[in-house]
Amino acid sequence: MKKQKAVLFSLPVLFLFSLAPVGADDHFVERGTRDYMGSTMMVQLREVWIGEKATSVADRLTVITRYDLGKRWTLAIRAKRYLEEPIEQEKKAEPVAKPQRVQELGWNYRPQFEWTIAATTQEKVIDGRKCRLYLAHGEADYADETRDMWLTKDLPIDVGRMAKHAVRPDDEPLWQALCQAFPDLKHSISLETEVKSEPAIAPASVSHFKVHTIESAAPPPGIYEIPEGFRKVNSPQELTAR
């Protein structure tokens, strides 16, 4: 009987362990401000949790990836909606270039920056970590951007996997250029960044980003789950509809 009880007791515990990653996960929080047309605004906070079986990246939308379930959930927090997509299918699917409708041509300009990156000898200590300044300049046909990045590898986490998630999707070409120019920076993170942006039409802006938290810690309960009360939707348009 004793043995039976022990098994019965351990089953729900094991079940609970199987739902959530065990132990300490990597955690990163970046805050920012943007100076634009005479005023300073807070930029959407970016928070990343990385565990063995799941990741959660909170930005304008929150993306939870559950490798154990083979699913990715994209959440619109305010609207309490989420979109579910299988990870496997996403890998298999070949991108199909749709013929562009003439009705849509010429409306969406996304700058394709060519990045040039220079290392400086300037160093400073940020939150006890030694950083070096790198200067990046991106130039596109109708836009320019410069970035001053204080990069470090001196971090208490798995920097390689965090760097992959901490980078905003739009910044990936910059990081590719950075790693190409300085391969040893592949596993580094910028603790402070100044971005001077001159977009095609809108006025110039200056943004400042600072990493406030970078640690290995136990994740809060439910961080890799869909919060209660969220409604499932069927398309990205439905997810972000006003």
Partner 1 sequence: MKFIRHSLFALTFGACCGFPTYGQTETQVPEYVKIELKRLEETWRLLDLGAERIWPGWADYRDVPFRFQYPNRVELLVGHPDPPDGFQLVPGLEVSGRKVHIDRRHEVSLAIKAPLLGGGGPIPFGKTNRVETVDLKMRDATIKDAPEPGQQAKETPEAVRIASENQILINIHEIFHCFQRKLYQYRYGNLRFNPDVAYALYAEVESLALGNAYAAGDDSTARDYLKDFRVARSLKRKNMTEVEQNQESEDEMMEGTAVYAETRLLQLLKDSYSPGLTVQDDPFFLGFRNLDLFLRKKVDSLRESGLDSLEARGKCYSYGSFQALLLTRLFPGWQKDFFQKGRLLSGEIDKALALEDKEREDVAARLEDRYKVTELRTRHAATVGRRDAAYASIQARQGRTFIVNLKPTGEFVAPEGYGDGFRIGLIQLFPDGIREMKFNEVLFAGQKVPMVEEQLYYVKWVDTDWKPGEKAYELTFSRTGGPDIYYDAEVKTRGFTLKAPKIRVSDGPRRVKISVLSKVPER
Single out the segment in contact with partner 1 by CB under 8 A; choices: 67-75, 105-113, 183-191, 225-233.
105-113
- 224 exposure class (CB count in 10 Å sphere: 0-12, 13-18, 19+): buried
5 is a site residue for partner 1 (CB under 8 A): no
242 is a site residue for partner 1 (CB under 8 A): yes
- Give the interface size with partner 1 as a residue count (CB under 8 A): 21
110 is a site residue for partner 1 (CB under 8 A): no
Q: Which of 109, 156, 180, 215 binds partner 1 (CB under 8 A)?
A: 109
CB 232 → partner 1: shortest distance, Å?
A: 22
Binding mask 185-214 for partner 1 (x = CB under 8 A): -------------x-xx-------------
Kindly tell me which of 115 and 150 has the beta carbon lying closer to partner 1. Answer: 115
Kindly tell me which of 100 and 122 has the beta carbon lying closer to partner 1. Answer: 100
118 is a site residue for partner 1 (CB under 8 A): no
> Contact at 8 Å (CB) between 173 and 115?
yes
141 is a site residue for partner 1 (CB under 8 A): yes
Q: Which of 94, 104, 184, 228 binds partner 1 (CB under 8 A)?
A: 104
Place of tokens 């409306």: 107
CB 116 → partner 1: shortest distance, Å?
A: 9
Binding residues for partner 1, per CB under 8 A?
A: 37-40, 102-109, 114, 139, 141-142, 198, 200-201, 237, 242
